[in-house]
Structure 1
Amino acid sequence: MPSDRGAPEARSVNRPAKGTGGPLEGVKVVDLTTVVVGPICTRTLADQGAEVVKVEAPGGDILRYLAAGSRTPAMSGKFINFNRNKRSIVLDIKQPEGLAALKRLIAAADVFVSNVRPAALARAGLDHASLAPLNPRLIHCGIVAFGTDGRYANRPAYDPIIQSLSGVAGTFDRAIGEPRFVPMVMTDHITGLVSAQAIGFALYRREKTGVGEAIEVPMFETMASFVTSEHLGAATFDPPEGPTGDARLLSADYRPLPTLDGYITVRPNDNRQSFAFFDAIGRPELKEDPRFSTPIRRTENAADYFTVQVEALATKTTATWLEIFAKADVPAAGYNTIDDLLEDPHLQDVGFWNFDEHPTEGRIRRTRTPVTFRGGMREQVLPAPRLGAQTREILAEAGYDAVQIDAMLATGAAQ
């Protein structure tokens, strides 16, 4: 796969500017991750001002090719979304010169993030024990499928494997009678964000101690915690006081409910909201119904409570119900498709959608960072890099001269 190291326009656009702002400005990150779980972690760091160098193998991150609708090869929409604010260098770390270059980058970095299986990382000398003498202040974050102390360690896994094993798919089985996957790589997103959070914690402690850290973030355990925190329920107690699961969330009617002309989501919780809902639908007598008179009774009788909602909401249009519930101060909302989000008025109000001119891909749409900091945000958004677009300049920054760089390019140790 040819690189774009010779494209000066890509290099100049992707060159990080001084003083771009953001709480992580000045933090240097070496990113040896692919697909989603790692790139969402490092994009989060990059969006907050960190300087992220994305190290790719020859051929590049597979996410470059995993989505339809690309304008040019190796630049899928998904890759563009998960890899903004990064620079790309291609190193063949199976070659000694490529591995040595990677270690030189890590020696000067604050953070090293990988989602390589631990055994392979150790064989390459990229585990924490090998890197700590090279850079004692290094924050080493390994995103893994399974914790290394368990019997599943070193198994390969992607998001659907973790959804299946962690109970995410099983919640659908409880709700609708068959296991399903959430139609997003949700476990990748959650684990990636948890990883970014852990790196932030480690950077804070390093400021106090001056010492680096080894972090392991396992996808399986992260999602098992996510699911059971929500659904452990009565099994929290030993012995259990009842079954696992939140009956409200596991109801087949826990979903946008049909109206006369579409769908609506209504979610009254406390007594004030629930009783206002009963008044709004013309069923005030339900406030005295023992099945619905308290939060715990509504939870215990979740199926009946949802039946009331299903029957009532089908009688009027979505717009009519939204007007009624707004007057009653009952939490309610319409229903957005993915396409609807592109035109959502609130997202337009807050400037959620931005349009940029990518140096090779043309006009692209991107989301802004949802989190804001009054103390300053990253001002310059770097477009997702073409494969190897900054190989030469990153090697030069690491201390390689032009002759050395040419030699590495000639052997394929760098591209």
Structure 2
Amino acid sequence: MKQSLLWRGLLVWACALAATGCSLLKVSVSSGDPLPDETLRLRTMTRGFYYDLSSGIAAAADSVVAASPRAATQLVAIRWKIRATRAAVEAAMQSDPEVALADTWILCRRMNEAFAQLPDSLLFGAESSIAREAAARFERRVARLSEQLLPADRQRLMERFVGEYVAAHPRPDDDGAAAPNTLLAWFEFLRANGREPSYATGSISEVMADVSDRVGSQTRQLANSVGWSRQMLEIRMQQDSLRSRVEGQLDSLERNFGRLVAVAEHLPGLSEQLLEELNLQAGQLIGAIDSSMASAFDDLDRQRVEIQHYVSTEREALVGQVQQAADEAVQHALERIPAVIGRLLFYVVAALVVLLGLPFLVGFWLGGLRTRRQSGRQKAPSGDDSAPEQGGGSPDEGRSGPGE
């Protein structure tokens, strides 16, 4: 009975202490482990190299366009600029920094090897050296970047992986086109060499910044591609059949005008009639040219509006997905708060019971043991004195007899 009352008292005391100490509890929602500084540096430097790579490809292609008088070479250079920059943004803007660096390295090596093997007739003609020098420079820079950012053993592994991957996967039909995503291949290569890949994604803020950077880069790349496609359309318009027909008609008019001048010198009346017909034909020709040019620019403006609408729709969809992902992460974190608080209260109560209740029980048991020992010692002497009293009586009892 006493023990049950003791346990009840301890439980009530522990609950009261926990209730008074709840203000000392601090609950925090984990937002994910942040990425290490080396990983963040690798991601930042790889994406910084992408910006230099994209601008370098565009500058090399623009130099080829400016130096070549042939429209076919200009179109090939612009097409290379669009495809190579698209491949660069797809390679460098991946979530895993090591895979992004490996894909960017594969892109630069594949582009350098393709330009070195192809003859000038299949590249940019006399201006092919501009693209070759740029591709070789990009591969050297990405190799130096890997040496600066990765440990020595990791860098050697990535260099061997890039060489084996490029050798095992021949270049695609389009020079500078993006290679397939090498995330799975890189992870399998690391495991085959006794290394474990990193699966960290970073905190919520780092993930949001990564998604925002990727969306912004893709949007800028799409806008640049639209502008470069328009440049290709303008070059084609200068070389299409409409211009050839206009030039042919102008040459025909020039010849007819020369003959009319010769006839007009002898036949004034006939020359006036011919001049009227000539004016009519010239007016029709000018009207046809104007309508054709207006139709072409209307189509170009319509395509620009459609592309802009598509870009806006995709951007809104991506932002919505990002917002939904953030809401789900916050909701998941908030749903785990009650369980975390319950566990903390349980651990606090258990700790208080163990730290405070156990010493109290030990002290209570030791006090009872000591009390029982003292009681036993007091009873032992009183038992020894009672034996003589029962046998012959005490001296005091003998002396008090006569007095009575």
Using structure 1 for the length normalisation, give the TM-score: 0.19
Larger helix share, 1 or 2 = 2
TM (normalized to structure 2)? 0.19
Bigger-Rg structure (1/2): 2
